[in-house]
Amino acid sequence: MSEQDGVNLEPELSRRITSKPPSPQDPKPRPPRGFRDQKYVPGKSLPTYTGPYSVGTFELEHAAREPRTFSHITRNGTPVLRLQTVLMTVYYPASHDVHSSLTKRAKQSRELWLGRPRLGLLAGYSGFVKLSPALTWPFFVPILFTKLPAYRNAKLAHHWAPAINTKEGGVDVKTKAGEKASPDADARPTFPLIIFSHGLGGTRTMYSSICGEFASYGFVVCAVEHRDGSGPRTYINNATPSSTATVEAKERKHGYHSVNYLFPKDNPWDTSPTNDKGVDSELRGAQIDLRMAEIEEALECIRLINNGRGVDVAKGNLRRKGAKGASSHGLDGIEWQDWTNRVRMTHITACGHSFGASTVVEMLRHDDRFTKISQGIIYDIWGAGTRPPEPDSPGHRIRVPLLVINSEAFTYWRSNFDLVNSLIKEAHSDPDPAPAWMTTIRGTIHISQSDFTLLYPHICSLLLKAYADPRRAIDLNINASLEFLRLVLPAELARVSRSSHNENLLDKAVSTLDDIPSLAFTRPKDGFVGARNHIPHETRYRLNPKVYKRKFLARAQQMGDTDPMAESWLFAKPSQVLLSGWLEKQHARVQV
């Protein structure tokens, strides 16, 4: 990447050159919630969230307003890309007195990470990885009872959280209310909205750490579970008799049907960087179309709830007690009146991982359709599955702020890196340039932004060569995302995340790949590019990581690394002129 590529890579905001690089920081503290989360208890647990808010969740499945088919693609004579219902888990800031306001039963209820029915979803994962259940089930047994560290159907927070997080104030900060962010702020904060799109093999809970972290800092996050054949398995409760017309008689009788992962015909591994056949563009394009329609339906549900019609939405919930995949709690206990006018339905953030990031890019390019979305965050985008801009449609381009966060493993995938670079240039280009940043988190792999590295840290380290602390990796992703949102959101919305620690991850010196010659030392062989990292002399690393890191640092310095101890690299950011000009335009629009 270079200045000649059209992206200004000079450090413009406040370049700081230090003689001594900073040491890697420890992850934020995440004390266990209770007995279930202790290390000595069999099974796996997810770490608690670090923001000052407790977190609540609710599950919602709602019928689509206009059920329809998105492609002629079929399996066994049945169309497979159909919009019927939309399924989501909503993560949100919960009341600080949630412990005393909930009933004992509700207090103990947390959403399952794997979902229901467990065995059916495990079979879906077996099909996704194309292995026998006998081989895959032992891998998943430890997470059969794993639950999200969030309260189900908790009361929405009605307070401003203290301006500190758990690292600064301890876990007790979640039980306290803080002062208003400013004298003119409302007594009850209005929370910004994030819509989240998962990647291939993902679900609405697979990224619960990212989504829950956002919620703990004052955001409402709507994580959609796509029914486009991109997940391992999802269950659709039939909303109307007409929606069952094309499903099997047995499934029609039961009132539901399932959608498994959809492999492209004659090209099942179209996601691989080494696949000579390339990507099945027809399938992936149709999936993106269906995904965007699902997101529109999800946004409509949130809009209705925010407009005081939460009771009506709850009446239409298909995940009620007795339904397939539903908890016996349903939406019981939610005080819908508390949600009225509590979510900002403008300045929405679109966020996604991998193929979900590809979906976000397409949404940002359709700003005429997604008029309320004003910025995007994309985690480790799958470039080959991303549609190019339409050459005959000049308006089909990114014209809003964009943050790109890559894993180290995907940074080695050169064609993918070049695609990301083109997205930065697209956002920065005239007319209507918008600020965009690109950063890479060191030691991470493609699934580091999901919950898998938290649940299976040793497997990810041994097999995929992830060497970043998985909790610290989540911290870096969230901190960079919050820094971005504080820059681009209106001030009254950015205030809700005032407790997050600014590490200046987006305001550091910009690097090029040539500035990091040690990347050649840690680059995997061509057959593993994109899939994993490489740890040279790995046995030494496993036996004595502290000594290994000192020697690696010395070697990186000898090779010419400008910042050999960096936890992240910033590869692109806007010029001061571009950023200042964009901010002035936004301020002028607010004044009008």
Tens digit of pLDDT for each residue in 500-535? Answer: 878 999 999 999 998 999 898 899 999 999 999 999
Give the pLDDT of residue 34: 61
Give the DSSP letter of residue 348.
E
Q: Which of 68-77, 346-355, 537-546 has the highest mean pLDDT?
A: 346-355
Tens digit of pLDDT for each residue in 76-96? Answer: 889 999 999 999 999 999 998
- 95 is written with which tokens? 């009341």
- 150 is written with which tokens? 């969030």
Helical spans, DSSP H, in 69-227: 98-101, 104-107, 118-129, 133-140, 166-169, 208-216
How far apart, in whole angstroms, are the C-alpha atoms of residue 389 and residue 426? 9
Give the pLDDT of residue 167: 72
Is a pLDDT exceeding 60 seen at residue 110? yes
Give the DSSP letter of residue 150.
S
Is a pLDDT exceeding 80 seen at residue 16? no
Helical spans, DSSP H, in 201-268: 208-216, 249-254
- For the segment 368-391, the average pLDDT, to the nearest whole number, is 96
DSSP string over 29-58:
P----SGGGSTTSSS--PPPP-SSSEEEEE
Give the pLDDT of residue 91: 99
Give the pLDDT of residue 106: 45
Is a pLDDT exceeding 70 seen at residue 211? yes
Contacts of 254 (CB under 8 A, 6+ apart): 324
pLDDT band at 70 (very low <50, low <70, confident <90, very high): very high
The CA distances from residue 14 to 502, 568, 574, in Å, are 14, 17, 12
What angle do the packed helices 208-216 and 470-488 form, to 10 degrees? 50
pLDDT band at 251 (very low <50, low <70, confident <90, very high): low
Is a pLDDT exceeding 90 seen at residue 393? no
Give the pLDDT of residue 374: 98
pLDDT band at 250 (very low <50, low <70, confident <90, very high): low
Give the pLDDT of residue 105: 46
How far apart, in whole angstroms, are the C-alpha atoms of residue 545 and residue 541? 5
pLDDT band at 210 (very low <50, low <70, confident <90, very high): very high
**Higher-confidence position of 344 and 244:** 344
Q: Which residues of 167-179 are buried (b: 16+ CB within 10 A; e: fewer)?
A: bebeeebbeeebe
Give the residue from 211, 133, 289 showing the smallest Cα distance to 451: 211
Contacts of 578 (CB under 8 A, 6+ apart): 8, 428, 433, 435
Give the pLDDT of residue 6: 40
- 537 is written with which tokens? 């002399």
Is a pLDDT exceeding 90 seen at residue 549? no
How far apart, in whole angstroms, are the C-alpha atoms of residue 75 and residue 89? 29
- For the segment 132-140, the average pLDDT, to the nearest whole number, is 90
Give the pLDDT of residue 241: 56
Give the pLDDT of residue 98: 66
- 201 is written with which tokens? 């093999």
Tens digit of pLDDT for each residue in 275-326? Answer: 889 999 999 999 999 999 999 999 999 999 999 999 999 999 999 999 999 9
- For the segment 249-271, the average pLDDT, to the nearest whole number, is 86
pLDDT band at 33 (very low <50, low <70, confident <90, very high): low
Contacts of 32 (CB under 8 A, 6+ apart): 38, 45, 48
Is a pLDDT exceeding 70 seen at residue 21? no
pLDDT band at 37 (very low <50, low <70, confident <90, very high): low
Give the pLDDT of residue 248: 56
Share the mean pLDDT of the chain: 89
The pTM for the full model equals: 0.92
Structural domains of the chain sorted by starting position, each given as residue range(s) with its CATH number in brackets: 53-591 (3.40.50.1820)
